Structure 1
C-alpha cells in the first residue's frame, strides 16, 4: 500500500524560483494551442463578493496531466492597512488521481504568468527583439514585467511612465538592480517599439495613433468599466486577445470601443498561422486559468521542485 507524500507548499519567493520566464513563455505557447483545441478546460472565472468591498476569484482548469484551482482574494481596502491587495493560492492536482501535488503562491503565479504572456506577445507580434519598451504604470504588474524583460532581454532600454514622474522615478530607484537600462519619463518615447499598459485606469492612458512597428500590449484593464487604450487606436489596429471568450466579458478597452469581434484574432491563431507584422498590432490580455495551469506545469518540472518533494 503506497503512502501519500506530504503536500508541498511554496511561499512567494519559492514560487518565483520555480517559475522561470523563458520556460513559461514556451509553456504558454503550448497551453494556448491546447486551450484552443479543447485540451485544457478553463471555465469563466467565478466572482464572489466579500462584505467589505473585496472579491474572491475562483479559477479552475484541467488538462490530461494536471488540474489547478486558483483562489485569490482582491481587497482594495488592504492598502490602507499596510497589507497586500491580493492574497491567495494556486493548488495543483494530479489529473488521474485527483490528489493534491503542490500549493503555489497565488499573487506570484499571477504576476509572473501575466508578464510571461506579454513576453510571448512580444515574441509573436514583433518582427525582432525589442529595442525600447515603455511600461505605463509603476505598480506590481510593472514590477513583474520589468523582471521578465530583464530575464529575457538583459540590458534592454526600459522606460517607466507612472501616474506621476515622481512615482516613475521611485520605481526606477526600487528596481535599479535589474539588468535593464531603466529610466523614468512622463510620456512614451517616440522610439519605443513596445508599449505595455499596466494600470487600472477607467479612462484611456494611451491615445496615440496606431503605428506600424510599435506593438501595444494592454494588460491592466480587466473589467468592462476599465479602459487603457483609446478607441481610435484600437479601430486602426489589428487586434488580438489571449482568451477570446474571457475578453468579450472583461476587456474593457475593446468593449467600450464597440470593436467588431469578428475582426479580433486570438493568440492561438497568431501562433499557428502568423500575424501581419507590417500592420499596427494591439495584443490585449485578460488572463485565464489555462495560463495558471501552464505556470504550474513549469513549477512541477523544475529540479528545485523535484528535489524538495522526492
Structure 2
C-alpha cells in the first residue's frame, strides 16, 4: 500500500486546536509516567549551517518519527527554512499508516502546548494577550488563540519598526489582531507569549501574579527571550525538564537553580484535568518555558489518526 501523505493544509485540518490541547495534556502525563518513549533528538549537521533533526516517539497505541531539516540559508533562496514530515506507524506491526507535514505539526503542537499552559496556570480565560514575535510560530499562535480564546484581545509586537504592522496587515483579514508599537506594555495584559529567536531578552518586566509569561521561541543556550528580573520573581515551569536543561537559554543564561523548576506534568497530575482552570488562582507569578519533544508530536498524530479514521 502507498502511504498517504497529508500536506500542510490537510495536516492543519486534521489537528484542530481544542482537541489537540486535550491530547497534549494526556501525553504530558503519559510521558511523565514513562508510558511514551521519547529519546533526545538526534542532530546531524548539514551544509551552510543547516541541521537535520530526527525525533522518534512511541506509545502502546502509536509510533511516530519526525524528520525535519532547518536550513537558515534558505531565506536567501526564497525557500522555507524548515522542511520535513512526520511518519506514523502501527506499534505492533511496524506498518506505515500515514505521514503529516512536519513544520505544521511542530507549529501547531507548540502553540497547543502554550494553550495548555494558559489553561493550567491562568485562573480565568485570558482577556488581553501580548504576542512578541512576527514569524511563523507567531502565526501558529495567533491561529491557536483565535480558535480557543476568540474573545481575547491579541496584540502583536515585532522586533523592529513596522514588523508588527506588516504582520497584522498580512494576516488581519482572517485574525483579530492589533499591532503594538512602543516599549510600554498595557497594564491590562494578562498573558505575554514570546515567540522569537532573540539572543537577548525581549521581556524583562518585574514578575506579576496577574500576568502569565510564556517563553516559546528560544531553543538553544545562546537564545534568551525572558530576562532574569522576570525569572527571579516567578515560579518556573517547563514542558520537558530534560530538554530544558540543554535548550532553555532563558533559564541557562540567568543561572537558574534547576531545583526551582517544575514540570508541567506535575501541575497536571496534582490538580487533575477537571481543575486545570483553577490552578494559578493563588498570588504566585508564573513563567512557563516550552522547548518541545517528540511526545508532543505523537499527541498531534493521535489527533490526526482519529480524524483520518
TM-score of the alignment, normalized to the shorter chain, above 0.5:
yes
Q: Structure 1 residue 61 and structure 2 residue 54: aligned?
A: no
**Corresponding residue number in structure 1 for 2:2:** 6
Question: Could you tell me which of 202, 222, 229 is aligned with 1:232?
Answer: 229
In the TM superposition, what is the alpha-carbon distance from 1:59 to its structure 2 partner?
0.5
In the TM superposition, what is the alpha-carbon distance from 1:164 to its structure 2 partner?
2.0
Q: Distance in 2 between matches of 1:301 and 1:281?
A: 34
Q: Distance in 2 between matches of 1:183 and 1:259?
A: 33
Q: Structure 1 residue 271 and structure 2 residue 268: aligned?
A: yes
In the TM superposition, what is the alpha-carbon distance from 1:176 to its structure 2 partner?
1.2
**Corresponding residue number in structure 2 for 1:131:** 127
Q: Distance in 2 between matches of 1:270 and 1:213?
A: 18
Q: Distance in 2 between matches of 1:296 and 1:87?
A: 18
**Corresponding residue number in structure 2 for 1:194:** 191
TM-score normalised per structure 1: 0.94
- SS of the residue 2:243 aligns to: helix
Cα separation, partners in 2 of 1:200 and 1:167, compared to 1, 3 Å = same
In the TM superposition, what is the alpha-carbon distance from 1:163 to its structure 2 partner?
1.1
Cα separation, partners in 2 of 1:276 and 1:154, compared to 1, 3 Å = closer
* 1:227 and 1:256 in contact (8 A); partners too: yes
Alignment of 1:201-280 (within 5 A): 201-274=198-271, 275-277=279-281, 278-280=283-285
- SS of the residue 2:66 aligns to: strand
- SS of the residue 2:49 aligns to: coil
4+ aligned runs moved over 6 Å, structure 1: none
Q: Distance in 1 between matches of 2:293 and 2:136?
A: 18
In the TM superposition, what is the alpha-carbon distance from 1:276 to its structure 2 partner?
4.6
- SS of the residue 1:185 aligns to: coil
Q: Structure 1 residue 28 and structure 2 residue 24: aligned?
A: yes
In the TM superposition, what is the alpha-carbon distance from 1:285 to its structure 2 partner?
0.3
Structure 1 gaps, min length 5: none
Structure 2 gaps, min length 5: 272-278
* 1:159 and 1:185 in contact (8 A); partners too: no
Q: Distance in 1 between matches of 2:177 and 2:219?
A: 29
* 1:155 and 1:181 in contact (8 A); partners too: no
Bigger drift between 150-159 and 99-108 goes to: 150-159
In the TM superposition, what is the alpha-carbon distance from 1:185 to its structure 2 partner?
2.6
- SS of the residue 1:52 aligns to: helix
In the TM superposition, what is the alpha-carbon distance from 1:273 to its structure 2 partner?
1.5
**Corresponding residue number in structure 2 for 1:50:** 46
* 2:238 and 2:261 in contact (8 A); partners too: yes
**Corresponding residue number in structure 1 for 2:118:** 122
Query: CA offsets, 1:195-254, max 9 Å, x none?
Result: 000100111111100011100000011001111111121111000000011000100011
Q: Distance in 1 between matches of 2:172 and 2:49?
A: 35
**Number of matched residues?**
300
**Corresponding residue number in structure 1 for 2:275:** none
Question: Could you tell me which of 145, 156, 159 is aligned with 1:163?
Answer: 159
In the TM superposition, what is the alpha-carbon distance from 1:53 to its structure 2 partner?
1.0
Q: Distance in 1 between matches of 2:177 and 2:255?
A: 38
Q: Distance in 2 between matches of 1:198 and 1:69?
A: 25
**Corresponding residue number in structure 1 for 2:73:** 77
Q: Distance in 2 between matches of 1:6 and 1:156?
A: 43
In the TM superposition, what is the alpha-carbon distance from 1:152 to its structure 2 partner?
0.5
Q: Structure 1 residue 153 and structure 2 residue 121: aligned?
A: no
> What is the root-mean-square deviation of aligned Cα atoms in Å?
1.1
* 1:155 and 1:180 in contact (8 A); partners too: no
Q: Distance in 1 between matches of 2:177 and 2:108?
A: 21
* 1:29 and 1:120 in contact (8 A); partners too: yes
Q: Distance in 2 between matches of 1:248 and 1:258?
A: 11
